[in-house]
Structure 1
Amino acid sequence: MVGNIDAVFHTYRWGKKMTKPSVIEVFSELTLHCGSIPVVEVGGMLVRQADGHTWRHAHDREDMAKKSFGVPADFFAFEREQLDNIPKTELILWGKGDSMRVSNIVPTASGRLSYSEYNLVLEDFATQVLEPVAHANELRVEHTSGFQGLVDWLSPQGVRKLEVFSACANRSTGSGHPNDRDRWLDFIIAAHEDRSNLSGRLSRWLIEAEKWPEEIARELESEYELGRELLGKYVVKD
């Protein structure tokens, strides 16, 4: 029996049992950096690019938002007809500084999109509308991945501590065993030192990527949030 926990972890995590990184699906983000061209001017280019394509400028929705809620001129709304099995959707683009960012995509009727549906619509908007304008004007596009894992949220030290905990802990008791508790607390401290934001992600990663029981994963997330809050107050007081 191997006594060294690092050796056990290495075999479990990076040996034959581990074939790919543990990731979860997330909402992609799409940003257009406008450089020296005014955001409103770039928005006009996007509107013209959308006309005549599957995407169209939702000027009625845009005008209503500007009149009713006083949103600024760099607010743009677009609509797309049904895409595969995804219903008709509305996409909102906001300007901030010298860039424009897609802030939301929703069905025009009711309900909400899944991660994969949202990302598919976003990719379609990028391909048909945003990227042609960006290429024509030499603007930079930033399009994040629809899949993320621990390396996107934590330092290497934080990643290792959480992966060690997940690989070694009793999944029926979570952090109940003293050894598991020690590893869990080590991870919480590392995440706090990283100033990592795992809100809404930790339990999803445990459940979807690591196949933890949902109830135990939710309990661990609650413990994590409490631990981060306590550490935050302690540091401020100190």
Structure 2
Amino acid sequence: MAEKLEVFQDMAIHGPIDKRPELREGLIAAAVGSWRVDLKRTEEVAHNTVPLEDVVLFQRDADNDHPAVGLTLWGTEDGYYVPNIVPLEKGSLSFAQYNALLKDFIAQIAEPVATQFGFTISTTQDQQTLEDWLSLEAAIKLKHFSGAANKSTRASHPSDQRRWFDFLVAVHRADDKPDADKLARWLHEVDGWDQDSAHTLAADFETAVALLAYYEEH
């Protein structure tokens, strides 16, 4: 069983603020071939943001390897980042499809232009371990709980419940903010819990950490 979760990658472009207008024009000019800029939608989306944001919407035609998609570049103080890539037709993108399309955009558009104007590109990994989104202590506590628990009864046994509570407290103390869906995926895909139990535990987790935070505040 895999020890890592496949995840959607993030991408950001950072560089000299004074070169940012040139970067924008370069990215738009580079969109030829399979990638193009939807200028009309770009203007519409930017106009509807408050305050006014720098947004560039790209589209990619479908081919034998990829579906047709839209990719958004959202402006930051020193560059851009990609908040999402969405299919232009029905359905959704798998992790592999999303990451392959992001890599294609970087290779075809972002990297050549960024290099030209002195910007750098950063991307996150396409797979994550537990320690990538939990503190070391919380990750150890979760592994202790999951490895010892009776997976047919979730955390109902007193010993399992104590180990589950240890994990919750460790998350709260470290001020970790893991996504409940990611926790459910890890429990199911990596550690072998059935899907219903994984989602039930993730929902319990979300409620418990919110309650602990409320207690601290009051």
Decide: shared fold, TM above 0.5: yes
- The reply on whether 1:152 has 2:149 as its aligned counterpart is no
Work out the CA distance in 2 between the residues paired with 1:195 and 1:91: 32
Aligned partner of 2:196 in structure 1 is: 215
Aligned partner of 1:23 in structure 2 is: 4
8 Å contact from structure 2 (residues 56, 73) kept in 1: yes
Aligned partner of 1:96 in structure 2 is: 76
Work out the CA distance in 2 between the residues paired with 1:107 and 1:206: 28
Aligned partner of 2:13 in structure 1 is: 32
8 Å contact from structure 1 (residues 83, 121) kept in 2: no
SS of the counterpart of 2:81? strand
Aligned partner of 2:98 in structure 1 is: 118
Identical amino acids, percent of aligned pairs = 34
- Give every structure 1 segment of 4 or more consecutive aligned residues whose post-TM-superposition deviation is greater than 6 Å: none
Aligned partner of 1:195 in structure 2 is: 175
1:232 to 210, 213, 218: 213
Aligned partner of 1:164 in structure 2 is: 144
- The reply on whether 1:45 has 2:26 as its aligned counterpart is yes
Q: Normalising by the residue count of structure 1, what TM-score does the alignment of the two structures yield?
A: 0.84
Aligned partner of 1:6 in structure 2 is: none
Aligned partner of 1:179 in structure 2 is: 159
Aligned partner of 2:114 in structure 1 is: 134
Look at both structures and tell me which one has the larger radius of gyration over its CA atoms: 1
Work out the CA distance in 1 between the residues paired with 2:17 and 2:44: 29
CA RMSD of aligned residues (A): 1.8
Number of aligned pairs? 216
- The reply on whether 1:77 has 2:57 as its aligned counterpart is yes
C-alpha change, 1:160 and 1:111, in structure 2 (3 Å) is same
8 Å contact from structure 2 (residues 66, 97) kept in 1: yes
Work out the CA distance in 1 between the residues paired with 2:108 and 2:11: 13
Work out the CA distance in 1 between the residues paired with 2:151 and 2:53: 52
Q: In the TM superposition, what whole-angstrom CA distance separates every residue of 1:123-180 from its partner, at most 9, and x where no partner exists?
A: 1001111111122222121111111121111111111111111111111011111111
Q: Gapped runs of 5+ residues in structure 2?
A: none
The alpha carbon displacement at 1:73 in A equals 5.7
Aligned partner of 1:13 in structure 2 is: none
Work out the CA distance in 2 between the residues paired with 1:84 and 1:33: 32
